[in-house]
Amino acid sequence: MTKFPELASVLEKIQIEALNPMQEACIESFQTNNDLILISPTGSGKTLAFLLSLLGKLTPNETKTQALIITPTRELALQIETVFRSLGTNFKVNATYGGHSIRIEKNNFTVPPAVLIGTPGRLLDHITRENIDLSAVHTLILDEFDKSLEMGFEEDMSKIIGSLHSLNHRLLVSATEGVKIPDFTGLQSANRLAFQKVTEEINMKFFQVRCQNEEKVECLFELLCNLPPGKTIIFCNHREAVVRVHDFLTEGQIPALYYHGGMEQEERERALIKFRNGSAYFLVSTDLAARGLDISEVQHVIHYQLPQDEAVFTHRCGRTARQDADGVVFVFLTEKEHLPPYMPQMETYEVVANEPLPDAPEWKTIYIGGGKKDKINKVDVVGFLHQVGGLSKEDIGLITVMDHSVLVAIHQHEVEACVKQIRDEKIKGKRFKIGFAR
C-alpha cells in the first residue's frame, strides 16, 4: 500500500502500531479516488480513518482553508477537532458550531485554519456573514451523513457545498447502509467501501429485563445495584423521561448524569466530560448519545424505553463492545411489551432485589476557571497539581482544556485535600477560580 510520508510518524505520535483493515482501505482508496463513500459501523475507528486520509491531501504553507468537514452535532465537531489535534501535525484546525461564541470563532478565522470542522447551520451563518473564505477548499468530508439528513440539514448542506468552487475530493461517511445520496453532494460516481460487522463478530451479550409495572425506574434501580462497576448508558425516548429517571436515581443515592438536546451546550459538554473521565458511572440520555460521540469503555447499554426502530437500536447498542471490547445490552420490557422482531433472541436477566448501592466513582472532577485563551495547557495543569497540590501522577485522571476553563479528574481519595491546597494559588502567575465542577 502506498502511504504519504507523514503517516508513520503520525501513528507513532498517537501510539497506534497498526491500522485496522477499514482504515487501511480508506486511506488507500482516497489516495487513488477523488470521491469515496465509507460505510462502517459505530466504534470502528472512522474518525481516524478519514482524518488520516485527509492528511494525504493537505499542502504545507497554504494560507487558505484547504478542507471542510461537515458534521451534524456540536459534540462530534469537537471530538473530530480533538482527534485531529492529537495527530500532532502543523496544520491549524478550528471547530465552529452553534452555542459557541460567534465572535470568538470569527477571531479564530483571522488566520485561516487548514481544516475547518463545523455544523451546517453555523457554517452557513459564517458564509453568509463572509467571516470565512472557502474559495480554496479542495477536500470535503461529510461525517455521519445519514444523521445530518435525519436532522433536516439537507438544505443547509446543499448551500454550503454549492459555495465550494474549488472542490476536487469528497468523502462521505456513514454508519448505516441504504442512505440515499442527494445530487448536491456530487458523489454519484464515487468509489464505495462497506465494512459492516456481522452479529457473530460483535462481543456483545443481550438480556431482556421484565418489569412488573409500567414505571420501570424501581426495576432500573435494582438492576444498577446488580451490575459490576463500569460506564453505563441508559437510553430514554424523551427528555422528560431522562430527567425523571435521573432524578429518581440521584435521590436514591446513585450518582448519575443526564444528557439531552434541551441542555445548554456548556452543560452537555460538562456531562460528557465527567462521564468520560469516570466521575460518574451512569449517563441517562435521549438518543442524542446514540451516535457521533467517542466514549470509550462503555460496559453496559440499557434500553430503558424501547427504541423507535431498528436503526436506533443498532446505534444505541453501538455505544458498547467498541474496538473489540466486550459489552452487555439490556432491554427493559413491561408485561404488555414484547421484543420487536428486529432484535436478537435474548435470555431474561433475573434481577436480585435489595443489593447494596453501586460503588462510588473512582474520580471526581474539579474546575479551573482558565483555559486555552489564558495560555493554559495540560502540562501546566499537571505541573500545578503536582507541585502545589501534592498529587502523584496516579492521582490525576483525564484533563480537558477548553477555551476558558479546565476540567480535571482527581482520585476521590485525594480530591478534597487537593482543592483546599490549590484553591487560592496561582497558575502561571495568575489566580483563577478553582473548585468542584457542577
Q: Which residues of the chain have pLDDT under 70?
A: 1-5, 196-202, 323-324
Look at residue 10 in the predicted model and tell me its pLDDT: 85
CATH of domain 199-348: 3.40.50.300
Residues 6 or more apart from 411 whose CB is under 8 A from it? Answer: 362, 363, 364, 394, 395, 396, 397
At residue 248's C-alpha, the angle toward residues 246 and 250, to 5°, is 70
Look at residue 369 in the predicted model and tell me its pLDDT: 96
Domain boundaries, given as residue ranges, for the chain: 7-194, 199-348, 363-436
* The residue to which cell 481516524 is assigned: 48
Look at residue 147 in the predicted model and tell me its pLDDT: 86
Locate 250 and state its grid cell: 440521584
pTM: 0.75
DSSP secondary structure code for residue 197 in this structure: -
Helices (H), 130-238: 145-150, 154-162, 217-226
CATH superfamily of 7-194: P-loop containing nucleotide triphosphate hydrolases (3.40.50.300)
Encode burial over 52-68: b for 16+ CB neighbours within 10 A, e otherwise: bbbbbbbeeeeeebbbb
SS3 192: strand
Look at residue 3 in the predicted model and tell me its pLDDT: 59
**Fold match flag (7-194 vs 363-436):** no
| pLDDT tens-digit series, residues 243-286 | 999 999 999 999 999 999 899 888 999 999 999 999 999 999 99
- List phi, psi (to 5°) of 97: -165, 155
Look at residue 4 in the predicted model and tell me its pLDDT: 66
CATH of 363-436, one of 3.20.20.60, 3.30.70.330, 3.40.190.290, 1.20.58.110: 3.30.70.330
